[in-house]
Amino acid sequence: MVATHPVEVQLSGNQYLSTRNGDLTISPNQELLPLTARVNHQDCLEIGGCDVTTLVQQFGSPLYILDEATLRTACQQYRDTFKQYYKGESQVLYASKAWNCLAVCAIVASEGLGIDVVSGGELYTALQAGVDANKIYLHGNNKSRQELVFAIESGCTIVVDNWYELKTLVELTTTDSPTRIMLRLTPGIECHTHEYIRTGHLDSKFGFDPNDLDQVFAYVSEQPSLKCLGVHAHIGSQIFERQPHRDLGAVMVQWLRDAKKYNLELTELNVGGGLGIKYTESDDPPSIEEWSKAICEVVQAACAAENLPLPKLLCEPGRSLIATACVTAYTIGSSKTIPDIRTYVTIDGGMSDNPRPITYQSVYRTVVANKMSAPLTETVTVAGKHCESGDILIKNAQLPKTEPGDVLVVMATGAYNYSMASNYNRLPRPAAVLVANGEANLILQRETYEDIIRQDCLPERLK
């Protein structure tokens, strides 16, 4: 699908529409907007065949709009490229911390993916969505006893992060029904990404220190109540480089080799995720196929060099699966011009529905959904409505002349937006809709004021 009336690239919101719109063979992580995005005859943005301005009228704003076709395409590309390039068994897991809800879990599971969860709440959601426990892996650096018991009873695989957790599991498990585990190790590999989302370097809260490798393997080999499947590592997020993951695969195969000294026949190798996406025009991440091919090739080569059978190869993409499948629609309200300094345009959301700019200094792109062909005549700062000076969503956004009531769309908000959303200033969290083939279905209800005070308790003496 293409825009119904294309204009010059630098003159309107159409600049963000791929010239290959509707082509589901391209890699979603390399696009700014969902694959089904187009401009209709009313000069409005459509996603999944639904007019975004109409969605806002129907469901209100802020509104998360998730394009089912883009999400499914990303799932299929990961699944199929691993099958194509890896000669052994493989399993793609969705890192659901990016966005864990019933609908998202159900969609990725229907495409054959498993689920990576990092809490009891995410585990519960995945199970309620019908995900097979055999395809669920529980992570976390400080799992509670309650979460571990829940995981054991559910039958999922537990990715063990540290000595405390390992010894706690030994206390909780029995030899009658050994618990499946993997061991998370820190590979000592750094990559160029934000400090807060680097997890593979040695100075990280995650994973066993590689210097403890022999001791960990020796201990696990003596625990009949634990069935160790393999090893796991994750080096970070929003990564554009391919070499760190190539290095990771080679290091992890050496761990499989070392485990044999302790009669541990490890059969799974999980390389984590971390492939980046296109948040701005200058971002140039590898495609899903390029990333997958590099991982498959290095693991196979390393196994051949060590004369090891191919393990079951797992990976855990999150952001690159779902981020660009979703946009957030806001309604523009007040504005303020400070001569010779800047113009603020304010939306009806901000840091409570997207905390990434104030947390990570993340950069986003935006369009006015009801003025897609209008010339970009203004440079504005898009400000949120929260009582916080730092509640700035986008600095120096290029927009057409805006008015109150216009619908502003921020791109690539599927990852770590709803999942990190809060009730700061007691704002209700937004609704989310799933769009496909011209139909929109509510997948998350908008919170109400009643929802916000639901957990509040007022002692009798204060009434």
What DSSP letter does each residue of 367-402 carry, written as one string?
A: EETT-TTS---EEEEEE-SSS-TT-EEEEEEEE---
pLDDT at 6: 31
Q: Known catalytic residue: 387?
A: yes
pLDDT at 286: 93
Indicate whether this model's pTM tops 0.85: yes
Closest CA to 83 of 111, 102, 106: 111
pLDDT at 22: 54
Integer Cα distance of 166 and 216 in angstroms: 9
CB 44 within 8 A of CB 53: yes
pLDDT at 199: 42
pLDDT at 218: 97
Per-residue pLDDT tens digits for 351-371: 999 999 999 899 999 999 999
Q: Which amino acid is at 202?
A: L
Which own/partner contact pairs does 202-209 have at CB distance under 8 Å and 24+ positions apart? 205/141, 206/141, 206/161, 206/234, 207/141, 207/161, 207/162, 207/233, 208/161, 208/162, 208/163, 208/183, 208/184
Residues of the chain with pLDDT under 70: 1-12, 18-24, 188-204, 242
- Domains contained in the chain, CATH given: 9-67+323-451 (2.40.37.10), 139-317 (3.20.20.10)
User: Choosing from 44, 296, 315, 387, which is the catalytic residue?
Assistant: 387
pLDDT at 195: 40
Closest CA to 195 of 367, 355, 360: 360
Per-residue pLDDT tens digits for 88-106: 999 999 999 999 999 999 9
Integer Cα distance of 177 and 287 in angstroms: 41
Q: Beta partners for 381?
A: 344
